[in-house]
Structures are given as C-alpha cells and as structure tokens.
A and B are shown apart, each in its own frame.
Chain A
Amino acid sequence: QVQLVQSGAEVKKPGASVKVSCQASGYRFNVNFIHWIRQAPGQGLEWMGWVNPHSGDTNYDQKFRARVIMTRDTSISTVYMELSRLTSDDTAIYYCARDPMHGDYPFYHFDYWGQGTLVTVSS
C-alpha cells in the first residue's frame, strides 16, 4: 500500500533552517511528483511547491521561493523540504503529499499524504 512517512517534530529558533524528510513506499517512487503543503495551527492548507523525483525538477510557490529547497534521494525513495530563515509565522504542520499524475503530467491534487511534521519556531 502507498505510504509516505515523514520525519519527527522539530523545534527551531528564529533565523534557523529546518529540513523535513518524506520517505515513500508501496509504489514506483520516480513516477509521481511530491508536493509540500503546510498548515499553521488552527488554520487552513497552504501549497508550498513540488519536486519531481525522477528529474529533481522543482517548482515553488512565489511566497516561499527565496527560502525553500526541495530535493530527493532516489536511492532511499525520500524527498526533503528545507526551509530557511525561519520566523514564528513558519510554525506549522508540514505535509508531503503525492500527486496522482495524469500520464506523465502532474494533476496538482493530492491522493496520499504523509502524517505531517510539526515545526515549531520559538526563541
């Protein structure tokens, strides 16, 4: 069965960086784009960007473009999201989610989700 397993909760100080991992299993890792979506406490869902596990290509929402990097390691079927220059506004649960794909093209909705990683930014 398809599973996305994320790394554990993080506590960071303002100005620091955080790197969250998402390990995929149960399907061919290279086929489906992986998106990152975050949810601030008690708030809605915010799309951050995607990584193509096959090519390593990425696309980021303009809001995060200057300080996010999404990468992948195909040898361990894992994608990463690194967010730098953290502020208290970045306190949120970060989810990875799989794109179901339409042939070779992303469909831009999300059929399987990781369990979420809470990132807390506090001095």
Chain B
Amino acid sequence: DIQMAQSPSTLSASVGDRVTITCRASHTVSPWLAWYHQKPGKAPKLLIYKATTLQSGVPSRFSGSGSGTEFTLTISALQPDDFGTYYCQHYKSYPYNFGLGTKLEIK
C-alpha cells in the first residue's frame, strides 16, 4: 500500500499570508494526486487533481505542484474562508489512501 504523510499537522496563519502544505507518498504516485478542503461539519471539497489541475470553480489563489513522491498545495493569499482541514489523496493504485490532514487555523 502507498502511505501518504502530510506536514504540518496544524498550521496557524494570518489573512493575506502565503501558505504551503506538503504531502509525501511512500512510493511514486505522480501525477495521480488530489487535494481536498474540509470545513467542520461539511463534506470535503475537491481543489486540485492530477497534482496541478485546478478543479472548476476553485479560486486561483490555490495551486498544486510537485511530482514523484513530494507534492505541495499553496494558497497564495490566505482568505478567512480558507480555514479547515486539507487532505491529500493518491489515486495511483488501490487502495486510494488519504493523508491524515493539515488543520489550518486563521490567526
């Protein structure tokens, strides 16, 4: 199985900050990597797929990069609505594991 590790596990940042979240896979998964955002009490929302492709309707301040085993989600200028937990997920092969999440708090 391919395991996904995210860092940091928690993050506190201010509105307007540039924020970076990292996801590392135990084996290469490129480019089959997605990012999701989940607010408390809500279902996750797809942000990025195929490592770098922005899902339709997602603000352009979100971007994805990386290849092989290391990937990054960047929020260029943090907005108040961006709080919550971010998950990466690989879909290289069964089972399609998620990372444990990065909880983003707004200062």
Q: Does B87 contact A (CB under 8 A)?
A: yes
Looking at the complex, which of A8-16, A72-80, A82-90, A104-112 is the stretch in contact with chain B? A104-112
Q: Does A103 contact B (CB under 8 A)?
A: no
A-B contact count (CB 8 A): 48
Q: Does B84 contact A (CB under 8 A)?
A: no
Interface size on B, residues (CB 8 A): 21
Verify A115–B43 contact, CB threshold 8 A. yes
**Residue of A at shortest CB range from B6?**
A44
Q: How far is the CA of A59 from the CA of B87 in the complex (A)?
A: 23
Verify B91–A108 contact, CB threshold 8 A. yes
Render A91-123 as a binary contact track against B, CB cut-off 8 A, 1 for contact: 000010100100000011111011110000000
Q: A114 to chain B: which residues have CB within 8 Å?
A: 43
Within 8 A of A (CB), among B16-60: 32, 34, 36, 42-46, 49, 55
Q: How far is the CA of A100 from the CA of B91 in the complex (A)?
A: 13
Q: A111 to chain B: which residues have CB within 8 Å?
A: 46, 49, 55
Verify B96–A108 contact, CB threshold 8 A. yes
**Residue of A at shortest CB range from B4?**
A44
Size class of the contact patch on chain A = 10 to 19
| Shortest distance between the CB of A105 and any CB in chain B (Å) | 12
Q: Does B97 contact A (CB under 8 A)?
A: yes
Verify B98–A46 contact, CB threshold 8 A. yes
Verify B89–A109 contact, CB threshold 8 A. yes
Verify B95–A44 contact, CB threshold 8 A. no
| Shortest distance between the CB of B87 and any CB in chain A (Å) | 6
| Shortest distance between the CB of A45 and any CB in chain B (Å) | 4
Which of A46, A61, A109, A116 contacts B34 (CB under 8 A)?
A109
**Residue of A at shortest CB range from B41?**
A116
User: Most A CB atoms within 10 A — which of B44, B45, B100?
Assistant: B44
**Further pairs besides A44-B100, A45-B87: 5, Cβ < 8 Å:** A44-B101, A47-B98, A110-B34, A111-B46, A116-B43
11 CB contacts below 8 A, A to B, read: A44-B98, A44-B99, A44-B100, A47-B97, A100-B49, A107-B49, A108-B32, A109-B34, A109-B46, A111-B49, A115-B42
